[in-house]
Amino acid sequence: MEPTVTADKPFCLIADLHVAFHGRPVLKAIDLSLDSGGITVLLGPSGSGKTTLLRALNRLNEDFPGHLRSGRIQLRLAGELQEIHQPEISVTALRRQVGMVFQTPNVLPTSIQRNLLLPLKLVTDLDREEREARIEEVLREVHLWSEVKERLKESATILSGGQQQRLCLARTLALKPHYLLLDEPTASLDFKTSRAIEDLLLELQENYRIIAVSHSLRQARKIAGRIIVMKDGEIVHQLDREGIACPETLPQLLEELF
Amino acid sequence: MLNRNSGKRDFTAGGRLTSPAGRIHFPGELLLRSAALFSALIIFALFGFLAYFSLPLFIEGRLGELFSLHWRPFQGQFGILPMIVGTLLLALSALALAYPLGLGICLFIHGLGPALLARPLLLLVQGMTGIPTVVYGFVSVFLLVPLLRNLFAHGSGFSLLAALLTLALLILPTIVLLIHSQLGQVVPALRLTATALGIARERELLYISLPASSYGLLAAAILGFGRAVGDTLIALMVAGNAARIPDSAFDSIRTLTAHIALVVSTDSQSTTYQSLFAGGLILFLTTAAINLLLHRIKSRACPSGDGS
Ligand SMILES: Nc1ncnc2c1ncn2[C@@H]1O[C@H](COP(=O)(O)OP(=O)(O)O)[C@@H](O)[C@H]1O
Ligand SMILES: [Mg+2]
């Protein structure tokens, strides 16, 4: 592994990343360095490559046909920056540390409890008691515990959209990831539920390195510590806290984007 | 066309396709309804026919005679119990062989095996459905039967074993295609979820996708069994057709279907026929039960089962 120039500050370094599907370029020459300082929010028109960039970080793109990548991605794993594509990295272990929640809630067609227990059973060596303690812990973390504690055995598919989304978040958190990749976590939710999730993310940013795709400037402004603006597979803008707070930059962005 | 529009209006207003009075909305509907009615009538007629001819056995209290072990038509004994036992033995053993094999093939196709082999394997199994049953029987008579005869040096080789091996091959595609189509619905949605959680493909398949496919798994078993019970030709050609309960897999058996085929084509004494109709009735009811069962598990599985 090459030594990294920046000491221990950045937790994500992307260098000259290109991703293509079936020969069609989707991400072009992405360079990015993220350090702590709040939630990173990806903004951009649909089709600009936001989801693909998220999936590059947990190597989920590799599961799609016709995928081709070049360039480097380094994440801070076990305390030090590591190139995630090096052969020593187990891709399943990487994905546990870099948890992802999809745009549409994807609960498993089974009970609420099993949605959380099953992944724990399949990827950790916790015993039954520890697993049950863990699911209570994460359900509390996403503020779902009081809503579902009476009906853990019921089918997860009967939960509302917002509840399902929080269940999916809890399922990811249960694996104790260091990173959270959130793909438009409020896209399918109503205004009030979206607010609740946003507040939840602001709490979670204390314990997780969060990179989220958002479809709304309002939301980005509320939760972001940094905004990355994408267009046609490239990063066209980066805003830090001051940029986000500045009253002129955001409307200008809006114009450019849509 | 105009009529069809009024059908649409009903759909938006009343939330169903036909009006409460059951009025006919478009010309094709009359045709469809008559066809459905006609098919239903045929089924009922078939049932009535079978029931009518086997009825004497039931009301004259000759059931004991029917379910006796002896088929000696010239001595007035018409027991079909050996055929019932033969049918069950053959169908269950063929299923016991074909089901795990079929399941294994499906798991292989859906990710346990190398992706490169999945497609050819599926094509092979799909191709098997096109082969006429008689070809399986024919090949079996000339290859499998002599092989078994020489290998085990027991009898003629025409046996339960020969029939079950051949029949397993015959019902394998049914089982594979049913499980495969269910996995095909379930896996794509669940795989990405599982992969993102760091769950390896084999574990996802065995612990997440397979349990979510319970309808297809059950349906495959039931339909496979149904096909095995209903098959006539394989049993007729390679099972030997001795009307008695076998002592081992190397013994000859006779199934109900083969029995009916044999008796009808060689013999036409009236008393013989009553027991034949009873046999037919049993087969008819088995098939009906299988279809009902499928229907029930389907209506139970679908409302909760296909939520993504
Ligand atoms: N698995 C894939 N196979 C083929 N094309 C893809 C795949 N994933 C994304 N793309 C293409 O890449 C482009 C960017 O997609 P995506 O990353 O989903 O954009 P966004 O999330 O910003 O809407 C789109 O044109 C999309 O069609
Ligand atoms: Mg997207």
Beta bridge partners of A235: A230
The predicted pLDDT at position B107 comes to: 95
Instruction: Measure the CA–CA gap between A254 and B199, rounded to whole angstroms.
Output: 39
pLDDT by residue (tens digit) across A110-138? 999 999 999 999 999 999 999 999 999 99
Which ligand 1 atom is nearest residue A42's CA?
A: 22
The predicted pLDDT at position A249 comes to: 74
Instruction: Measure the CA–CA gap between A73 and A10, rounded to whole angstroms.
Output: 12
Instruction: Measure the CA–CA gap between B251 and B87, rounded to whole angstroms.
Output: 14
pLDDT by residue (tens digit) across B97-110? 999 999 999 999 99
Looking up tokens 């509390």 gives A140
With cut-offs at 50, 70 and 90, classify the pLDDT of residue A243: confident
Instruction: Measure the CA–CA gap between A14 and A73, rounded to whole angstroms.
Output: 5
| Contact state of A157 with B207 under an 8 Å Cβ cutoff | no
The predicted pLDDT at position A72 comes to: 95
H helix or E strand, kind and range, residue A182: strand A179-183
Per-residue pLDDT at B4 exceeds 60: no
Instruction: Measure the CA–CA gap between A94 and A85, rounded to whole angstroms.
Output: 10
Question: Looking at the CA of A44, which ligand is closest?
Answer: 1
Domains of chain A, each with CATH number or no CATH: 10-257 (3.40.50.300)
- Cβ atoms of A170 and A116 within 8 Å: the answer is yes
Question: DSSP alpha helices (H): ranges in B129-159?
Answer: 133-139, 145-152
Q: In this complex, how many residue pairs, one in chain A and one in chain B, have their CB atoms less than 8 Å apart?
A: 62
B144 DSSP 8-state letter: I
pLDDT by residue (tens digit) across B206-263? 999 999 999 999 999 999 999 999 999 999 999 988 888 999 889 999 999 999 888 8
pLDDT by residue (tens digit) across A59-106? 999 999 999 999 999 999 888 899 999 999 999 999 999 999 999 999
Beta bridge partners of A35: A10
What are the domain boundaries of chain B? 63-301
CB nearest to B307's CB, from A92, A109, A123: A109
One of 2.60.40.1190, 1.10.3720.10, 3.20.20.150, 3.40.220.10 is the CATH number of B63-301, namely: 1.10.3720.10
Contact residues on chain B for A172, CB-CB shorter than 8 A: 197
With cut-offs at 50, 70 and 90, classify the pLDDT of residue B50: confident
Per-residue pLDDT at B265 exceeds 50: yes
The predicted pLDDT at position A255 comes to: 72
| Contact state of A118 with B208 under an 8 Å Cβ cutoff | yes
Angle between helices A161-173 and A112-123 (to 10 degrees): 20
Å from CA of A82 to ligand 2 middle: 26
- How many residues can be counted in chain B? 308
pLDDT by residue (tens digit) across A127-171? 999 999 999 999 999 999 999 999 999 999 999 988 999 999 999
pTM for this predicted structure = 0.81
The Cα angle at residue A166 between residues A163 and A168, in degrees rounded to 5: 110
Beta bridge partners of B71: B78
pLDDT by residue (tens digit) across B130-173? 999 999 999 999 999 999 998 887 788 899 999 999 999 999 99
**What is the ipTM for the molecules in this complex?**
0.89
